[in-house]
């Protein structure tokens, strides 16, 4: 190999940069402008150098020094010396490969095998380890998985592990050596840790939090646990943790409070199916928290948020929770889903959502109509209201949503889902009475409206006509008479066939299409693009109504 080719090869930098570098001035005639007041040499301004040359010095079989000589226009020459260990370069190259590819490469030579021992990203899951659950019984799956992980960790220099992922849905505490794996792999250099388990016995794995105490947890930035239990520990050190995900973790209110007490860099938190928590408090010291997601925690009754910079909040549950929000919070995105959330948000949360720009409300049941709002969502631009249900209360007046639109003077995009599998509202088909008029409500910035599950319900048709007549800025109106799910269509799913729709639903689709033709289309101005979505006629028989 020529010196020129060797030089090019050694210009690859390790991901952490060179271990050390030196900048020397070779020409003593450099002008004063190139030097700092302290006498230290600095690189000249942003102009291009006159010439750059390089050379390589070999200090040992694996250690090299790459020299750059930078010649300026005025004759000054600077030398930059960058030491490189060729083993570090190979380790860096290996770190960029998927784990399976890195393991295969390690079989080629002893040099590659040494690099494999330093591989920093270990992902232990069925696919990565080549465990085929289709050809093995459950006991054999557990045994194969365990033996492969044992063998990898036995031959690995675990001090180099930065990312560890253990995903195993056949976890058996009598066979799997999970405690041993974590004790081996969790070292002061680890940055990401995932333990995602599942078990038929519903027995939670008692996660050893003590392993993250003192120095071992100081660099961890990402932690994801599933099907684990919380055990209190002292000296927990997670000062770098920025993302926390707890799925089906057996943790109580007080234990969660104790855990959050150790976090100061937390930016993103997800909590799902943690059914023992009754109250969740996000304290003020979580200054960096931007995103909070709480889904299906069945015992949760109260959420208190004092984290001052939280801007994105998402909640989904089967029942209403009490929200206590700090007065200084300025949400940008706010999503909530539980029965009655529309009236709850309009009545109780308006003062806390003054700065929200994207609001999503999902309710399977609204007992009362949407109330008139005492103040406004001044910054709201994108609104999604999902009232999708098997059947929705026939007494609910969809036109009451106008008060919500009216309280959003900056609204630009509206998505409304009124899908009912069985429509019980009064139908406009066959109704001889006039449509209601709601004058005095203007929506001057609304440009795009989409209504999913459009039906012949009279109040839905009246709401649609109201939007058309009172929105001079409207550009696009989409009326979707289907379920609205892309994977229900033969054009987008793998089966090549549409989801079978019940005959009663198809009858209502026909009524909805007739309502569009009779009441909506005549009111649509030429400047507005009207999109009408109907079920695929190749897969469904739609009887025309007139």
Closest residue by Cα to residue 73 from 51, 55, 94: 51
> pLDDT digit string (tens) for 383-400?
999 999 888 888 999 999
- The CA–CA distances, whole Å, from 295 to 270, 314, 317 equal 8, 8, 6
* The pLDDT of residue 97 is above 90: no
Strands 205-206 and 228-229: parallel
* The pLDDT of residue 284 is above 70: yes
Domain count, the chain: 2
User: What integer is the mean pLDDT of 441-459?
Assistant: 93
Q: Give the predicted TM-score (pTM) of the model.
A: 0.79
Residues 171, 130 contacting (CB under 8 angstroms):
no
Instruction: Examine residue 515 and state whether it is found in any structural domain, yes or no.
Output: yes
* The pLDDT of residue 213 is above 80: yes
pLDDT of residue 119: 76
Instruction: Examine residue 165 and state whether it is found in any structural domain, yes or no.
Output: no
Residues 534, 510 contacting (CB under 8 angstroms):
no
- Domain range enclosing 362: 332-546
User: pLDDT band for position 3 (50/70/90)?
Assistant: very low
Instruction: Examine residue 32 and state whether it is found in any structural domain, yes or no.
Output: yes
Of the ranges 27-31, 386-390, 483-487, the best mean pLDDT one: 386-390
- Quote the percentage of the chain above a pLDDT of 90: 46
Please state which of the ranges 58-62, 346-350, 417-421, 437-441 shows the lowest mean pLDDT. Answer: 58-62
Instruction: Examine residue 425 and state whether it is found in any structural domain, yes or no.
Output: yes
Closest residue by Cα to residue 53 from 67, 74, 73, 72: 67
Domain boundary among 62, 86, 110: 86
Instruction: Examine residue 428 and state whether it is found in any structural domain, yes or no.
Output: yes
Domain boundary among 26, 51, 86: 86
- The CA–CA distances, whole Å, from 129 to 34, 126, 296 equal 57, 5, 32
pLDDT of residue 214: 79
* The pLDDT of residue 326 is above 60: yes
User: What integer is the mean pLDDT of 478-497?
Assistant: 76
Rounded CA gap, 272 and 315, in Å? 10
What is the residue-wise DSSP string for 498-524?
PPPPPHHHHHHHHHHHHHIIIIIGGG-
User: pLDDT band for position 41 (50/70/90)?
Assistant: very low
User: What integer is the mean pLDDT of 159-180?
Assistant: 87
Rounded CA gap, 101 and 128, in Å? 10
CB-based contacts of 208, cutoff 8 Å, min separation 6: 179, 182, 183, 231
Cα 97 from chain centroid (whole Å): 24
Class of residue 320 by CB neighbours under 10 A (exposed 0-12, middle 13-18, buried 19+): middle
Please state which of the ranges 42-51, 168-177, 220-229, 330-339 shows the lowest mean pLDDT. Answer: 42-51
Which tops the pLDDT comparison, 373 or 271?
271
Domain boundary among 86, 104, 127: 86
User: pLDDT band for position 65 (50/70/90)?
Assistant: low
Instruction: Examine residue 69 and state whether it is found in any structural domain, yes or no.
Output: yes
pLDDT of residue 112: 64
- The CA–CA distances, whole Å, from 28 to 70, 76, 78 equal 14, 8, 10
Rounded CA gap, 410 and 380, in Å? 6
User: pLDDT band for position 368 (50/70/90)?
Assistant: confident
Instruction: Examine residue 130 and state whether it is found in any structural domain, yes or no.
Output: no
Angle between helices 110-117 and 86-95 (to 10 degrees): 70
Mean pLDDT, the chain, whole residue set: 82
Instruction: Examine residue 517 and state whether it is found in any structural domain, yes or no.
Output: yes
């Amino acid at each position: 190999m020529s010196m020129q080719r060797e030089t090019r090869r050694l210009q690859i930098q390790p991901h952490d940069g060179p271990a050390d570098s030196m900048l020397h001035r070779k020409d003593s005639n450099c002008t004063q402008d190139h030097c700092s007041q302290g006498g230290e040499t600095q690189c000249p301004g942003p102009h291009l150098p006159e010439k750059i040359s390089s050379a390589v010095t070999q200090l040992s079989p694996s250690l090299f020094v790459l020299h750059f000589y930078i010649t300026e226009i005025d004759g000054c020459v600077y030398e930059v010396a960058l030491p490189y260990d060729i083993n570090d370069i190979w380790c860096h190259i290996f770190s960029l490969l998927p784990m399976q590819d890195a393991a295969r490469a390690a079989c080629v030579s002893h040099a590659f095998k040494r690099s494999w021992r330093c591989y920093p990203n270990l992902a232990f899951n069925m696919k990565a380890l080549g465990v085929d659950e289709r050809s093995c019984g459950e006991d054999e799956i557990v045994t194969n998985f365990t033996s492969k992980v044992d063998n990898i960790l036995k031959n690995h220099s675990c001090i180099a592990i930065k990312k560890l992922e253990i995903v195993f849905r056949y976890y058996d505490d009598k066979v799997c050596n999970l405690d041993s794996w974590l004790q081996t792999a969790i070292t002061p250099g680890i940055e990401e840790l995932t333990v995602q388990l599942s078990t038929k016995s519903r027995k939670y794995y008692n996660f050893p939090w003590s392993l993250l105490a003192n120095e071992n947890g100081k660099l961890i930035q990402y932690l994801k646990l599933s099907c684990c239990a919380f055990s209190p520990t002292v000296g927990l050190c997670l000062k770098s943790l920025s993302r926390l995900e707890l799925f089906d973790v057996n943790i109580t209110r007080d234990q969660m409070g104790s855990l959050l007490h150790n976090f100061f860099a937390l930016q993103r938190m997800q909590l799902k199916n943690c059914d023992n928590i009754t109250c969740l408090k996000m304290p003020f010291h979580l200054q960096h928290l931007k995103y909070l997601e709480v889904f299906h925690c069945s015992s949760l009754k109260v959420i208190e948020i004092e984290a001052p910079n939280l801007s994105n909040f998402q909640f989904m549950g089967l029942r209403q929770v009490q929200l206590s929000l700090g007065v200084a919070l300025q949400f940008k995105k706010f999503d909530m889903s539980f029965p009655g959330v529309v009236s709850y948000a309009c009545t109780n949360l308006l003062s806390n959502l003054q700065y929200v720009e994207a609001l999503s409300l999902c309710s399977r049941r609204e007992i009362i109509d949407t109330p008139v709002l005492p103040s406004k969502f001044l910054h709201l631009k994108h609104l999604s209201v999902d009232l999708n249900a098997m059947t929705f209360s026939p007494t609910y007046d969809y036109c009451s949503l106008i008060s919500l639109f009216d309280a959003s003077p900056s609204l630009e995009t509206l998505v409304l889902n009124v899908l009912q599998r069985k429509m019980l509202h009064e139908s406009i088909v066959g109704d001889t009475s006039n449509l209601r008029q709601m004058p005095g409500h203007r929506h001057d910035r609304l440009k795009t409206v989409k209504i999913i599950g459009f039906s012949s319900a009279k109040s839905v048709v009246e709401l649609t006509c109201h939007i058309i007549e009172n929105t001079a800025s409207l550009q696009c109106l989409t009326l979707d008479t289907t379920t609205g799910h892309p994977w229900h269509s033969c054009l987008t799913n793998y089966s090549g066939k549409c989801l079978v729709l019940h005959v009663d639903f198809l009858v209502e689709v026909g009524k909805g299409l007739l309502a569009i033709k009779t009441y909506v289309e005549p009111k649509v101005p030429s400047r507005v693009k009207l999109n009408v979505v109907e079920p695929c006629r190749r897969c469904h028989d739609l009887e025309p109504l007139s």
